[in-house]
Amino acid sequence: MYKILRKEKLNPTVTRMEILAPEVAAKAEPGQFIILRPQADSERIPLTVADFDREKGSV
């Protein structure tokens, strides 16, 4: 499970999150998506990778 480092509501429909995920950050490229599943039995949510920091290990 990955840790949410920061969550910021930009407007009523857009939220920016910074997630500590070193394995994902190491392979991330602009325009890719990650799949978020908050709980094992919940729906999968596709999220756009807008930025990443390989040194910090975050997306």
2 in Cβ contact with 20 (< 8 Å): yes
For position 57, what pLDDT does the model report?
97
For position 40, what pLDDT does the model report?
87
Q: Which tokens belong to 16?
A: 């920016």
Domain segments of the chain: what residues?
3-48
For position 59, what pLDDT does the model report?
95
Distance CA 51, CA 39 (A): 24
Tell me, rounded to whole angstroms, the distance of Cα 23 from its chain centroid.
Answer: 12
pLDDT by residue, tens only, the chain of 59 residues: 889 999 999 999 999 999 999 999 999 998 899 998 888 899 999 999 999 999 999 99
Going by their DSSP bridges, the two strands 3-11 and 14-20 should be labelled as: antiparallel
